[in-house]
Chains A and B, each alone.
Chain A
Amino acid sequence: ELKVEQNPLFLSMQEGKNYTIYCNYSTTSDRLYWYRQDPGKSLESLFVLLSNGAVKQEGRLMASLDTKARLSTLHITAAVHDLSATYFCAVVLIYVNQFYFGTGTSLTVIP
């Protein structure tokens, strides 16, 4: 059974600081996704990472993928309050059209 673990589960950080969220998964996958969820809202796709060493950046968020280590990171640079949300990574198994979600990281950015 595929397991997807994120850490930390909860993150409180001050505006302007940097931090990294980690996503580990237990079996070989050919793609990894990062989603954002605001309270009471649905999931919004942020990044799709398809290959080892892939790096994607959008604003203050940067995601990377190391398929050998089965690890993805979501790095937050100079956090702002608008980034407060829950972030999920999701892994898709090779040849299976199915998304497996991590436990989520609840991020709160404090002014």
Chain B
Amino acid sequence: EAGVVQSPRYKIIEKKQPVAFWCNPISGHNTLYWYRQNLGQGPELLIRYENEEAVDDSQLPKDRFSAERLKGVDSTLKIQPAELGDSAVYLCASSTLGQGPLNTEAFFGQGTRLTVV
């Protein structure tokens, strides 16, 4: 079974430019997460979807970040315009949390390493 797929793996852009990340979760996983991981730190939640609904976007900087999950499957995360401080690894994860047994876990993609110069 394919895991969580993210693209691109790496992205280098100049500040003020737009950038978009794509995530394809594991089939059947209704919950999708976007996390940002700064160097040497743990992942921090940006937004959580349950199916196509964004149920927690309280940590998403809405002035420049946007996300969507059309049809409750793939998701995109966009930054426009990017700032130097946005350089980080953006991780997508999916899970069946709430759907099935308690021991369900979150499965993570490889991440997109963004460098803003």
**Interface majority SS (helix, strand, loop, mixed), chain A:** strand
Question: Contact at B97–A97, with CB atoms within 8 Å?
Answer: yes
Interface residues in B58-117 (C-beta closer than 8 Å to A): 91, 93, 95, 97-98, 102-103, 105-111
Interface flag for A31 (CB, 8 Å): yes
Query: Quick check: B31 and A50 within 8 Å, CB to CB?
Result: no
Looking at the assembled complex, report how far the CB atom of B101 sits from the nearest CB atom of chain A, in whole angstroms: 9
* A47 shortest CB reach to chain B, Å: 9
Contact B44 A50 (CB under 8 A): no
Asked if A98 and B48 make an inter-chain contact with CB atoms under 8 angstroms apart, the answer reads yes
- A51's nearest neighbour on chain B, judged by CB, is B102
- In the complex with contacts A50-B102, A50-B103, A97-B48 CB distance below 8 A: yes
* Chain B residues closer than 8 Å to A45, beta-carbon distance: 105-107
Question: Which bucket holds chain B's interface residue count?
Answer: 20 to 34
A68 interface hit (Cβ, 8 Å): no
Contacts of B35 in A (CB 8 A): 101
Interface string of A71-100 (1 = CB under 8 A from B): 000000000000000001010100001111
Give the residue name and chain of the A residue nearest to B43 (CB): A101
Which residues 15-36 in B have Cβ within 8 Å of A in the complex?
31, 33, 35
Within the complex, the shortest CB–CB distance from B45 to chain A, in Å, comes to 7
Contacting pair B48 A43 (CB below 8 A): no
Q: Does A25 contact B (CB under 8 A)?
A: no
Once the chains bind, are B110 and A42 in contact (CB under 8 Å)?
Answer: yes
